[in-house]
Amino acid sequence: MPTVIVPNDSAVDTGTAVHSSPFGLEAPCRRLNAARPSPCVANTKAQSTVAVCSPTASTHPAMPLCSVSGRIVVGGREYPVDEWMNASEPILSAVTRKLHLQSHHPISITRQLIESRFPTYRCHNDLWPIVSVAQNFDTLGFAPDHPGRSRTDTYYINKSTVLRTHTSAHQADLFRDNLSDGFLISADVYRRDAVDRNHYPVFHQMEGAMTWDKTKHGYGDSLARAIWDDVSRIPVHNVVVEDPNPTVHPERNPLQSEHHSLEEVEAVAAHLKRSLEDVVVEVFKSARSAAGCTNDEEEANEPFRIRWVEAYFPFTSPSWELEVFWQGDWLEILGCGVVKQSILNNANVSSRLGWAFGLGLERIAMLLFSIPDIRLFWSQDRRFLDQFESTHPACYKDVAFWLRSTSSSAGGGSRSNPADFHENDMMELVRDVAGDLVEDVRLVDEFVHPTTGRKSLCYRINYRSLERTLTNDEANQLHSRIRNGLAEKLGVELR
């Protein structure tokens, strides 16, 4: 889509600023034109009512709502307040807005694009934002004197209850629930900071994690081989990546040697980096495509590069930041690392190890849609919001399979056997099952097994209706029928 139109008289909320990433990144947002990228997810309607009350509410917008002896109701839930209370009514009124769940909002579109790169991960998008101090800090290993615990940085309801400052507040609970190997969290988070066009006291983060169970895959080399096998299934890109440092360094980026072997961490790090590179390449490919559509030749033709930088975070080790080179400068996009084993142990999943990442959705959305001021995300001006409703969202799903040894290459070659695979046969199968509900099908990865010589192909199917928004369940049903048809009619072995 072209650069976003900003109404001159558009009214937007104001407020103090925040950091933009669960891993503490604070690089300024830069302008980027982008086409609308919007893969599908199950439709979820946010609550529409915020109830905030107190027996002795202050008339000053920056003052607490309740007296020391009072109570407060937020979104229908009641909390006691004490002298730690420092969340004002404008901040609490944002709790039920849930911009990341509003289907045509740029924050939601950005979330869906990133989610589409993790099709097998479980998504948690409606977790309540008022959490305990233990959830927000203690479970993640924050020191008692960490500045993030201060009332100058964090919004408190009472001494033991806060508005979450990062999506990581739910990490230990989700590890403990152990519902899936991989999961994503998207949510509104709250922090106090300075005021500028790139920061706001309420913003949105996405966090992801992937773990492997040693009791299932084995230990040491056996586990590493299983993880490397998963790495081989991640789509390959052709972007230049700068990664000059070793995976671990005894001082700068230490191995958790009492818990992990170097072989295990090398494999986990490779899976982490390849997964996140895939996300960033897709996001900036959308941005570059839009730059070309808007005749911005400099942006469209600028060489795209990625680099990994060693970092420190209290809940991962080793840790990295991912940066991209855009418009002549390196931009921090996300933070990530190998999860501290103590977090997994305390969540009663000590047999697991894995990685986690976090990023700020506003930062990505400002790049994608050329949004110049973070306050615009909170605007309810239809002239701003209607720009993002021009198309129905897409839904990307991958299907990977082994070819029969006698099959011709995808997309060409003669067939010596009627059962051999040909790409056109797959296209016809997709049309028969999904009709016009599929926008495009493209080959995204090829792999030849070094021992058996068997060839594996991975295709990405873009489900998008011209008339309405498809739900994730609808797309899943179509995708399941296509997978079954590939196995039954074309004789491939699904992966």
Q: Supply 485's token pair.
A: 């048809």
**Alpha-carbon gap, residue 280 to 392, rounded angstroms:** 23
- Residue found under tokens 């840790």: 319
- Mean residue pLDDT of the chain comes to 81
Same domain, 170 and 191: yes
Same domain, 221 and 290: yes
Range of the domain at 326: 99-129+164-388
What CATH number corresponds to the domain at position 407? 3.30.70.380
Asked if the structure places residue 1 within a domain, the reply is no
The pLDDT of residue 284: 81
Helix-strand-coil split of the chain, %, nearest 5: 30, 25, 45
In tens, the pLDDT along 133-145 reads: 999 999 888 999 9
pLDDT grade for 265, boundaries at 50, 70 and 90: very high
**Alpha-carbon gap, residue 442 to 410, rounded angstroms:** 11
Same domain, 453 and 383: no
pLDDT at 63 exceeding the cut of 60: no
Asked if the structure places residue 37 within a domain, the reply is no
Of 119-133, 280-294, 441-455, which range is least confident?
A: 280-294
Task: Decide: 327 and 351 in contact? Cβ < 8 Å.
Answer: no
In tens, the pLDDT along 434-470 reads: 888 888 888 988 889 888 888 999 999 988 876 677 7
**Alpha-carbon gap, residue 382 to 462, rounded angstroms:** 29
Same domain, 92 and 185: no
Same domain, 217 and 74: no
What CATH number corresponds to the domain at position 110? 3.30.930.10
How many domains does the chain divide into?
3
Name the most confidently modeled range: 112-121, 315-324, 465-474.
315-324
pLDDT at 176 exceeding the cut of 80: yes
Of 151-160, 181-190, 349-358, 395-404, which range is least confident?
A: 395-404
Q: Supply 486's token pair.
A: 């590939």
**Alpha-carbon gap, residue 26 to 19, rounded angstroms:** 6
**Alpha-carbon gap, residue 369 to 364, rounded angstroms:** 9
Q: pTM score, two decimals?
A: 0.69
Q: Mean per-residue pLDDT for 174-196?
A: 92
The pLDDT of residue 338: 98
pLDDT at 151 exceeding the cut of 70: yes
Asked if the structure places residue 415 within a domain, the reply is yes
The pLDDT of residue 416: 42
- Within 8 A by CB and 6+ apart from 347, the residues are 139, 172, 173, 175, 176
Of 65-69, 317-321, 373-377, 479-483, which range is least confident?
A: 65-69
